[in-house]
Amino acid sequence: MAIVLGDNRYGKAETRLVRVTRDGDSHGLADVNVSVALSGDLAATHLSGDNSGVLPTDTMKNTVYAFARSHGVGEPEAFALLLGRHFVDTQPQITRARVRIESYGWERLGPHSFRRKGDYVRTAQVDVTGDGVQVVSGLKDFVVLNSTDSEFHGFATDRYTTLPETTDRILATAVDARWRHLSDAADWAESFEGAKGALVNAFVTTYSYALQQTLYSMGSRVLEHCPEIAEIRLALPNKHHYLVDLSAFDLENPGEVFIAGDRPYGLIEGTVTRDDAPPALAEWHP
Catalytic positions, written as ranges: 12, 57, 240
The DSSP element (H or E) to which 87 belongs, if any, is helix 76-90
Please, which residues have CB within 8 angstroms of residue 209's CB and are 6 or more apart in sequence? 150, 151, 152, 153
Question: Do 146 and 104 touch, CB atoms closer than 8 A?
Answer: no
Q: Tell me whether strands 10-23 and 26-40 are parallel, antiparallel or unpaired.
A: antiparallel
Q: How far apart, in whole angstroms, are the C-alpha atoms of residue 67 and residue 8?
A: 26
Please, which residues have CB within 8 angstroms of residue 214's CB and are 6 or more apart in sequence? 171, 173, 202, 203, 206, 208, 236
CA 154 to chain centre: 32
The alpha carbon torsion through 225, 226, 232, 238 (nearest 10 deg) reads -40
